Amino acid sequence: MRPLVYIDGKEGTTGLQIYDRLAGREDIQLLLIDEEKRKDVEERRRLMNQADLVFLCLPDQAACEAVSLVTNDHTRIIDASTAHRTAPGWVYGFPELRPGQREAIAQARAALDRERERAEGEKLRMGRVYQALGLSGGAFLVILLL
């Protein structure tokens, strides 16, 4: 059985480059989201939990939120943003980078559970901020980006 791979943020520059490199491969199966559902959290959650490997090609905040969508213990995540490069439990770099790096990558899964709990807490806190401001999360992010 071929590993299932999902690219969250496939429409952006990084996501398109990863997609282009993986699309022709016969040893993996790419999970694709319908264009009209790419912002649908439940559809993204479904695909992320179905995948063996997820590439996050999202802005930092969205990458942090996306991590909380994975609720199983088998999906591995590669985050192309800067959100998790120095986060506890995440491993940055290639297995060949230094001695012990391969093992660190293999053990990173347990720490992801702690990050998921932190992200859930942050989501609840930000939800209260959005509510106090009378804004939806999307509207608040648009304001921050301006």
- The 10s digit of each residue's pLDDT in 39-85 is 999 999 999 999 999 999 999 999 999 999 999 988 989 898 988 88
Region of residue 40 (left: phi > 0; alpha: psi -120 to 50; beta: else):
beta
Domain 4-145 belongs in CATH node 3.40.50.720:
yes
In the chain, pLDDT over 70 holds for what percent of residues? 73
Cα separations (Å) of 119 from 41, 66, 122, 126? 15, 9, 5, 10
Q: Residue 95 has what pLDDT?
A: 76
Least confident of 8-12, 77-81, 97-101, 134-138: 134-138
14/11 Cα distance (integer angstroms): 8
Tokens standing for residue 69: 């969508």
Tokens standing for residue 43: 């559809």
For the chain, the average pLDDT equals: 79
Tokens standing for residue 103: 């093992």
User: Which residue has tokens 């347990």?
Assistant: 110
For residue range 90-121, list pLDDT tens digits in order: 887 777 878 888 787 777 754 555 555 555 55
76-79: strand order across its sheet: 29-31, 4-8, 53-56, 76-79
Quote the pTM value. 0.70
